[in-house]
Amino acid sequence: MKKELKFLCWYCKGEFSSNLYKEKEGFLEVICPFCEAVCVAKRPTENEEFLQESKPLKTVEPSKKKELE
C-alpha cells in the first residue's frame, strides 16, 4: 500500500491527503476530491511535509465547474 501524502490543489486550493496518486516520470498525479481537477506535483523530499502546490500538466478543468456557474 502506498504512503498517504498531502496535496494542495492548484485549482480550488483545497488541501487533502491521498494515496490514490499515480507516479509518472518523477511526478505524482492525483485527482482533487473537492473539485475533481487533475493535479500533478513533484514528489516531496524526506524533510518536506507535503508536496509543493501542484500544477496542472495540461489544464484539465474540473467537471463540476459547470454546475457551480
Name the grid cell of 34.
473537492
Name the grid cell of 3.
504512503
Sheet architecture: strand order including 27-31: 22-24, 27-31, 38-42
Q: Residues 29-39: what's their mean pLDDT?
A: 90
Q: Which residue has the higher pLDDT, 43 or 53?
A: 43
Domain boundaries along the sequence of the chain: 5-68
Confirm if 12 and 32 have CB atoms less than 8 A apart.
yes
Q: Considering the entire predicted model, what is its pTM?
A: 0.60
Query: Does the structure show a pLDDT above 80 at 6?
Result: yes
